[in-house]
Chain A
Amino acid sequence: MKELVVLSGKGGTGKTSLVACLAALAERKVLADCDVDAADLHLVLDPRVLHQEEFRGAKQASIAADRCDACGQCAVYCRFDAVRFDGPASDVVEKTYRVDPIGCEGCGVCVHVCPTQAIELAPSVTGEWYISETRHGPLVHARLGPAGENSGKLVTIVRTRARAIAEERSLDLVIADGAPGIGCPVIASVAGASMVLGVTEATLSGKHDLERLAGLAAHFKIPMLVCINKADLNAEVAAAIGEWCQRHKIQVVGSIPYDRRFTEAQVQGKSLVELGDGATAEAIRSIWQETRTALGRSQ
């Protein structure tokens, strides 16, 4: 079984629109939406949720005002600037300390240093994940709660489930839609995958962030392919991306023109290749052919 992860570095280059097309073109696969922060793939796949589970991410500290004597040790030891001196009054003091849930990383240091045992660490539900059926096969997806911590852990759950479904049903491939950036959720989606498909765009920002993504793929020793979206926006930059890839022995599997029908497809809840034929659909079909061949050659 192979695992293809679609990433970009820069956001908004067209990862999800491309994955939606691959979902329509590829056979015998499981889809995984690893962009748990801002998952969009379900908007075009119209999933029927079969299974749903809570995700418990980081724990959160909270201070019981009635036991807080405002000694301030928690604030001294907190390294995340998450303890604020603006809590309610208690029997002893006019103002107590309070944990800002937004800043708290759930480490438990404040619990340890509090001399009056006023602080508790409790798990919080920070998201949900789902196994669904779609017209293009099974989809594992998730929703990280607002301001959620530990998106990497949730990504790992999504990937693990997607691989398990592929094994159970003897499917050959997992196609994962990743998050932008190169940090925690991206690392969680890329480590141990068979191949990265980097979707860039013909802009200097797109090129800059693709180079950082290529660095990450090399760091984890994952082979990478590149597809250049919005290629006609700037032919010079598109060519420079191609040259950069060639120099770094990264195969460019194809280019996609700037096409407003991607938005039209979103509005219709479809992928672009399902809207009918045309130059863009043709380009995407060829990108899938090249990607499939490269995946077949990979270890």
Chain B
Amino acid sequence: MRIAIASGKGGTGKTIVATNLAATLAQDDHPVTYLDCDVEAPNGHIFLKPEIAHRETVSVPVPEVNEAKCTRCGRCGEFCQYSAIVCLGDAVLTFPDLCHGCGGCRLVCPEGAIREVPRPIGEIERGAAGAVQFVQGRLRIGQAVVAPLIRAVKRHLPRTGIAILDAPPGNSCPVVETIRDTDLVLLVAEPTPFGLHDLRLAVETVRQTRLPHAVVINRAGPGGGDVRRYCDRAGIPILLEIPEDRRIAETYSRGELALRTIPAYAGWMRALFENVRHEALV
């Protein structure tokens, strides 16, 4: 089963839920893989403290023009949707930062003057954190294109067992790339005006993918009524409410798993998993 943990707003508690859920399920002898798809700001390793056994560099193919063969016909520049290759009079300029690596310029070049060379955009690190299998992507600083790195993380999805995918915040392509082909998207929401607003956006995004989805309310307190009412009206099940508790925030600040210091946390994660199983089967 593949469970994506996402949220529109940042800092609502995706990583807390994802890492504690992974650790709890592993404790209960489930085969679990945690995949950190928040490649711009990967934080799961801080809590799971994995031993990294494998590292690989992820590259995107970008064009390299053979000036001798190139006739400056300009087809490559006309084809490229990203302005990553431009033919200006006597020169062909490439902008690898903008390249999505589609390979179109090479296909349309009538002279065979373009070849593709790998351009590194980040690293994949794999290992184990106790019984949790661990995979993370880490975007190289200054790189803008993240989707290929997320796809590379997801190539390490296990064939069996439980996969927990920690998504980046937001509602655009990196999130969509993460949640694609998962069995359930768990949206972690905080009961604040910003939290509710961004939850609505996240629900719109998930609905485009037609994936089953549910909500976890984090830092639930007296102000949580609006989020509950919204979920109720929108027909989105709330699978867990984690109470507002400064001790959880303090534990998080030290980079420790909440289940180590808050005795009830593991029980909440078990209940969440039971509800997830139920939702994913419906």
Instruction: Say yes or no for B139: interface residue by CB 8 A criterion.
Output: yes
Q: Which residues of B contact A10 (CB under 8 A)?
A: 10-11, 41, 43
Instruction: Say yes or no for B176: interface residue by CB 8 A criterion.
Output: yes
Closest-CB distance, B269 to chain A (whole angstroms): 19
Instruction: Say yes or no for A4: interface residue by CB 8 A criterion.
Output: no
Instruction: Say yes or no for B147: interface residue by CB 8 A criterion.
Output: yes
Residue contact A102 to B144, C-beta cutoff 8 Å:
no
> Which B residues fall within an 8 A CB radius of A?
8-12, 15, 38-41, 43, 46, 79, 81-82, 100-104, 107-108, 139, 141-147, 151, 168-177, 180, 190, 192-194, 197-198, 201, 204-205, 207-209, 223, 246, 249-250, 252-255
Q: Which of A58, A205, A212 contacts B252 (CB 8 A)?
A: A205
Closest-CB distance, B137 to chain A (whole angstroms): 11
Known contacts: A37-B170, A184-B144. The answer to whether A233 contacts B253 by CB under 8 A is yes
Residue contact A109 to B107, C-beta cutoff 8 Å:
yes
Residue contact A103 to B172, C-beta cutoff 8 Å:
no
Q: Which residues of B contact A16 (CB under 8 A)?
A: 194
Closest-CB distance, B203 to chain A (whole angstroms): 9
Residue contact A43 to B197, C-beta cutoff 8 Å:
yes
Instruction: Say yes or no for A196: interface residue by CB 8 A criterion.
Output: no
Residue contact A102 to B250, C-beta cutoff 8 Å:
no
Q: Which residues of A contact B170 (CB under 8 A)?
A: 37-38, 151, 179-181
Known contacts: A12-B10, A37-B171, A216-B141. The answer to whether A108 contacts B81 by CB under 8 A is yes
12 contacts between A and B (CB under 8 A): A10-B11, A38-B201, A40-B9, A103-B180, A148-B173, A181-B40, A187-B142, A204-B255, A234-B254, A237-B254, A266-B193, A267-B223
Q: Which residues of B contact A77 (CB under 8 A)?
A: 103, 107
Q: How many Å lie between the Cα of A121 and that of B82 in the bound state?
A: 14
Q: How many Å lie between the Cα of A187 and that of B98 in the bound state?
A: 12
Instruction: Say yes or no for A88: interface residue by CB 8 A criterion.
Output: no
Closest-CB distance, B268 to chain A (whole angstroms): 20
Known contacts: A179-B170, A216-B141. The answer to whether A11 contacts B9 by CB under 8 A is yes
Q: Which of B176, B205, B253 contacts A237 (CB 8 A)?
A: B253
Q: Which size class do A's interface residues fall under?
A: 35 or more
Residue contact A204 to B253, C-beta cutoff 8 Å:
yes
Known contacts: A58-B81, A184-B145. The answer to whether A102 contacts B209 by CB under 8 A is yes
Q: How many Å lie between the Cα of A203 and that of B10 in the bound state?
A: 14
Closest-CB distance, B42 to chain A (whole angstroms): 8
Instruction: Say yes or no for A27: interface residue by CB 8 A criterion.
Output: no
Q: How many Å lie between the Cα of A13 and that of B253 in the bound state?
A: 12
Closest to A35 in B: B170
Residue contact A183 to B104, C-beta cutoff 8 Å:
no
Q: Which residues of B contact A113 (CB under 8 A)?
A: 107
Q: Which of B9, B208, B223 contacts A38 (CB 8 A)?
A: B9
Q: How many Å lie between the Cα of A263 and that of B172 in the bound state?
A: 26
What 6 pairs across the A-B complex have the smallest Cβ distances?
A11-B10, A12-B11, A181-B40, A107-B102, A37-B170, A204-B255
Q: Which residues of B contact A179 (CB under 8 A)?
A: 170
Closest to B177 in A: A103
